[in-house]
Amino acid sequence: MEFEYYNPTRLIFAAGALARLGEVASQHGKRALLVTGGGSVKRSGVYDRAVASLKLAGVSTVECSGVEPNPRITTVRRGAKIARNEGCDVIIALGGGSAMDAAKVMAAAFYYDGDPWDMIFHGQTVPYVPTRALPIITVPTLAATGSEMNMGAVISNEETKEKSFVQAQCLYPVVALVDPELTMSVPQDQTAYGICDIITHVTEGYFNGVAGTPIQDRFAEGVIITAMEYGLKALEDGNNLEARAQVQWASIVALNGWVNAGTNGGFPVHMIEHTLSAYHDITHGAGLAVVNPAWMRFAARHRPEKFVQFAERIFGLDAKNSIDLDCALEGIDRFEAFLKSIGCPTRLSELGIGDALLTEYAKETVRIIHDDKGLLPGQPPMSEADIVAVLRSAL
């Protein structure tokens, strides 16, 4: 196990923390670009409260609204232009992962004269990795992506049907102002997709990482069990603040680098899902709910011991031995049943996806990210035929 860990984001986590937005933002700028989605923050009153807090602290605002789920590069270009024209010196994302990701790339695009699409890793030999960005403050309203405290962003290009990521140190938010109260208005379906996204962030490292990471395994299992237990409570009663808070915290820990530190694995389920989202504009967490169990059944045959551990520690199953494949597969069935029980799709058909383009999805996924043998990184590395087989099993 070898790693270096770095995360400079200041995390403020408290119910009611939104009231501190002005105080916090005024330490980083005087004129903020407020990046929002399709209107949920307006309907909930969160937007007005944010603006009032900023105004009180002497921070003026200009808005870039309308960031779509699976945020588009066109929206990033639009936001960066507003920030430049309006002389913004800080960017505040108020919304879900989509608003946060778009805001991050706008912050870097502010200083970049080329096209921000150059920053998104979409298979170009030398992507442009930004080194400078406006200070970013994230105020998440949905527990899912962990974008609030990491250096990643995922952006789609409608024209080229591509969806991919950028990772750069300048994209770490200076502050993540996390107020779990803001997630109480998230509808049931998005709450469930968020739970699936959180769990998948840690299962990627758990199953694809190097061997010999006992602490990371226990961290990951803690995130999974907590997201399942408190996720169910949040679904039962969306106003259960304690449940919302635990799920929000799980979402942060799952992808701020801590749980996966040293695992050094690929993210094959995410890479495949991003292709499906690029073609069909589906919700990220819903796509993961379909791909992850199908991928697990494929990978369990390669590495049964890790899946046996999952089955025993998450679902309390009793394995005959450390490579008991039946037990491993039973654990995956239980996981899929959990996803189904909270309202996630588990078949491609439920997402309106048929078998016509399976080969194309596979080719496209591997084109964007591959190892030196041309395989999708993971345990095991996947050929295009493997990806097609996994997707076919999820039809």
Length of the chain: 395
348 touches which of Zn ion, ligand NZQ, none (CB within 5 to 8 A by kind)? Answer: none
Our separate counts of H helices and E strands in the chain read 14, 8
Nearer to Zn ion, 25 or 144 (CB): 144
182 binds ligand NZQ (CB under 6 A): yes
Q: Which residues contact 125 (CB under 8 A, 6 or more apart)?
A: none
User: From the CB of 46, what's the least distance to ligand NZQ, in Å?
Assistant: 7
The CB-side HSE value for 264 (13 A sphere, CA atoms) comes to 10
Q: With left for phi above 0 and alpha for psi between -120 and 50, is residue 343 left, alpha or beta?
A: left
> By CB under 6 A, how many residues form the interface with ligand NZQ?
35
Q: Taking CB under 6 A as the criterion, which residues in 236-265 touch ligand NZQ?
A: 255
> Rounded to an integer, what distance in angstroms lies between the CA atom of residue 23 and that of residue 57?
6
Residue 240 burial (CB < 10 Å; 0-12/13-18/19+)? middle
Phi, psi of 323 (to 5 degrees): -125, 30
Residue 190 binding ligand NZQ, by CB under 6 A? yes
CB of 320 to ligand NZQ, least distance (A): 35
Q: Pick from 75, 147, 213, 275: which binds ligand NZQ (CB under 6 A)?
A: 147
Q: How far is the CB of 98 from ligand NZQ (least distance, A)?
A: 3
Nearby residues of 12 by Cβ (< 8 Å), 6 or more positions away = 20, 24, 175, 176, 177, 178
Nearer to ligand NZQ, 308 or 376 (CB): 376
The 30-59 contact track toward ligand NZQ, x by CB under 6 A, reads: -------xxxxx--x---------------
Between CA 125 and CA 138 the distance in angstroms is 31
Least distance to ligand NZQ from the beta carbon of 37, Å?
2
Q: Report the C-alpha gap between 162 and 124 in whole angstroms.
A: 12
CA distances from 121 to 89, 127, 136, 271 (A): 26, 6, 21, 12
Q: Which residue is nearest to Zn ion (CB)?
A: 197
Residue 216: name its binding partner from ligand NZQ, Zn ion, none (Cβ under 5 to 8 Å by kind). none
Positions in the binding site for Zn ion (CB under 5 A): 197
Asked whether the beta carbons of 5 and 258 are under 8 A apart, the reply is yes
Pick from 107, 142, 314, 394: which binds ligand NZQ (CB under 6 A)? 142
Selection from ligand NZQ, Zn ion, none that 25 binds (CB < 5 to 8 A by kind) is none
Contact partner at residue 107 from Zn ion, ligand NZQ, none, CB < 5 to 8 Å by partner kind: none
Binding-site ranges for ligand NZQ (CB under 6 A): 37-41, 44, 69-70, 95-99, 101, 141-142, 144-147, 150, 152-154, 182-183, 185-186, 190, 194, 197, 255, 270, 284-285
